[in-house]
Amino acid sequence: MLDGLPLALAQAATYLRETKLDTASYLRLYKQQWDDLMRYDGETGSPLIDYGQRSIGTTWTISFNAIKARNKNAANLLRLWAFIDNKDLWHGLLQTAANGIGQWPEWLCEMASNEVTFLGAARILLRYSMIEAEESAQGNYMIHPVVHRWTSYMQNNVEKREFLRLAVMVVGSSVPCHTSRDYWLLVRRLLPHAERTSWWMKEICEAEWSFNDIWALRGLNGLGNLYMHHARLKEAEAIYQRSLQGGEKLLGPDHVFNLTPISNLGKLYTDQGRLKEAEDMYKRAIQGNEEALGRDHVSTLNMINNLGILYRNQCRLKEAEVMYQQALQGKEKTLGSDHMSTLDTVNNLGSLYIDQHRLEEAEATFRRALQGYEKVLGPDHTSTITAVNNLGIVLTYQNRLKEAEDMFQRALTAKEKAFGQDNILTLDSVDHLGSIYAKQGQLKEAEEMYQRALQGYEEALGPDHRSTLNTVNNLGICYKNQGRLKEAEDMYQRALKGKEKALGLDHSSTLDTVKNLGNLYTDLGQLEEAEDMYQRALKGYEKVLGSDHTSVLGVARGLCLIYWKQGKLKEVGEMLARVDGLRQPSRPTRSVRQDHGGASSKTIASVEILPCKVCGKTESTRRCAQCKAVSYCGTEHQKADWKVHKNICISKRRDGI
């Protein structure tokens, strides 16, 4: 009758052992349950997975009814399990329901608050061979994939929606704050459960349908946050939109609950480069928070901080600083100087100071953030690691390359351990190390780092994400310095096209790539194309950053050389006057690396001391003895650049420059 199927035989044997029932009685129950199962299937239309001539499903149904009679908690746990992953169920996953009487059913609160009750339910399921204990971790349980499917098919539509609702609440409310010590360990464990829950929402719920209670909607926000943590932006957006639509329908469009998914959508749109939509969301959230909670409430201050992040991404630096300072003062007053949220805004302010080339202030600000994070969270927390990484960035801009490399290596080692090799936070440090190697003339190592970062970004974020495009741009710089000029042009053109689409024509990151193309065309002798690129970059930088910004100085230098080669001596004089008015110590101005080689570093020999074309250092540099147009910090970098420079050097000597 059971056709020798292992699962069916094991299930029947377990039932007979537990109930002490004789074989004849079991056969009678088996036939009765089969008839009931067939009627149930005909009424609901649920597909039976009863392969092997009814054996599997019937034996499970018999066992499930016995479990339900002996321990209702165990039966309900099995129903809930249908809507999360079949592996890695542990008591801690349910603990969020321990103190939530009213929003959670009584049976779940009981199991969540008492591990002995949970273990009792698990023991019953083990004894009936419904689940297995995982060998890899004590206290963890799993369920066979076929049994797992059956646990959902045995439920009618009303039961499915109710237990799916509970699954969303359990998983979503278990997503930790990013300041939690075991943050990344837990979010990695939760992701498979979230994926299963999301699959079921698509399977049994309409696209516009959402839950009709606030607790489940909060769980949805948690699921969206989990996908955001893993850079799964499309999934996160769908979840946030479902939460917002549900909140507006259930509570009205102006209810304070809706401010959470609105704020989350603002963050998501910022990460996607949809900056206008992000600004609309943040302004809506700030207005709503001020009206509902007050201007000094932490939620309001967090929205102001996030709007500062957006303005910085738009290169609206003065507006960004106003937002950051307002948020920082409010948080210091409300939360204290060493609170995590306060330190987050301190860290953001340091990044802004880099953009404004206020490097000493940036270093001091990052060191304050790092000291605070280490004190509150310890040396291995994600926020501490981020501060280490940011300190490496500012040290890079100060040409303190060995110190910067040490910081990036520390950050990379910690991120690989905490997040894995393919996480986007890990890839950020990989990209930064590539830039350090490039500045030190280690171009092979730089290329390896950039290629690793690019592959990871493309897989995690897609080919058009800002982080992906920044690395494409950096790889173009690396190819140019290796003399692979056609490959460099391909990278620059790809980066430019993507940035124009994602960020806009006048975004500073877009203009960086425009400038880099000007440098490349100069080296190729394509002077008209180079002039067009420099003119576009110059107008854009002046519009976005102001006429006294150092990026304007770099483009002005490039135009000097172009005009000289074209014999436009009047324009050379005008541009030299501008260079003299703008000149200040050479340093980069943004976290996106710019090309310090090529035309941006070349000008007439009498203008100023030039930085090393390879690494950007200004200390102890010497000009090329033949053409006098570029400088190097030593013979190693001069040799590294010779493949690129030799043709330009020869042409300059021939033209008398």
CATH code, domain carrying 545 = 1.25.40
Whether residues 134 and 184 fall in one domain: no
Q: Does some domain include residue 150? A: yes
pLDDT of res. 212 = 83
pLDDT of res. 199 = 93
pLDDT of res. 619 = 52
- What band does 331 get if pLDDT is binned at 50, 70 and 90? very high
- What band does 614 get if pLDDT is binned at 50, 70 and 90? low
In the predicted structure, residue 467 carries a pLDDT above the cut 70: yes
In the predicted structure, residue 196 carries a pLDDT above the cut 70: yes
More confident residue, 154 or 163: 163
Whether residues 142 and 10 fall in one domain: yes
- What band does 313 get if pLDDT is binned at 50, 70 and 90? confident
pLDDT of res. 623 = 65
**What is the phi-psi region of residue 616: left when phi exceeds 0, alpha when psi lies from -120 to 50, beta otherwise?**
left
Whether residues 83 and 175 fall in one domain: no
In the predicted structure, residue 654 carries a pLDDT above the cut 50: no
Q: Does some domain include residue 518? A: yes
In 154-274, where does DSSP find H-type helix? 157-174, 183-204, 214-229, 233-251, 259-271
Q: Does some domain include residue 359? A: no
d(Cα 210, Cα 145) in Å, to the nearest integer?
28
Burial of 290: CB neighbours in 10 Å, binned 0-12, 13-18, 19+:
middle
Final residue belonging to a domain, choices 155, 176, 197: 155
H or E, element range at 331? helix 317-334
Whether residues 243 and 115 fall in one domain: no
Whether residues 78 and 213 fall in one domain: no
For the chain, how many structural domains are there in total? 3
In the predicted structure, residue 188 carries a pLDDT above the cut 90: no
Whether residues 134 and 170 fall in one domain: no
* φ, ψ dihedrals at 188, nearest 5°: -70, -40
pLDDT of res. 219 = 94
Give the percent of the chain with pLDDT over 70.
79
pLDDT of res. 598 = 34
d(Cα 324, Cα 332) in Å, to the nearest integer?
12
* φ, ψ dihedrals at 615, nearest 5°: -110, -15
Residue range 92-101, pLDDT digits in tens: 999 888 876 6
pLDDT of res. 625 = 64
CA angle, 166 then 170 then 175, to 5°: 150
Q: Does some domain include residue 523? A: yes
Weakest mean pLDDT among 52-61, 317-326, 444-453: 52-61
Final residue belonging to a domain, choices 227, 253, 279: 253
> 639: domain range?
505-655
d(Cα 412, Cα 423) in Å, to the nearest integer?
11
Q: Does some domain include residue 475? A: no
Whether residues 528 and 591 fall in one domain: yes
Q: Select the highest-mean-pLDDT range: 22-36, 280-294, 592-606.
A: 280-294
Q: Does some domain include residue 631? A: yes
Whether residues 127 and 20 fall in one domain: yes
* φ, ψ dihedrals at 50, nearest 5°: -85, 65
Q: Does some domain include residue 222? A: yes
Whether residues 3 and 77 fall in one domain: yes
Final residue belonging to a domain, choices 253, 283, 305: 253
* φ, ψ dihedrals at 604, nearest 5°: -65, 140
Whether residues 36 and 160 fall in one domain: no
d(Cα 588, Cα 362) in Å, to the nearest integer?
13
More confident residue, 40 or 312: 312
Tokens of 329: 């003062």
Note whether 519 and 558 are within 8 A (CB).
yes
In the predicted structure, residue 87 carries a pLDDT above the cut 80: yes
In the predicted structure, residue 470 carries a pLDDT above the cut 60: yes
At residue 515, the 3 state secondary structure works out as helix
Give the percent of the chain with pLDDT over 90.
47
Whether residues 122 and 29 fall in one domain: yes
Q: Does some domain include residue 233? A: yes
Whether residues 90 and 176 fall in one domain: no
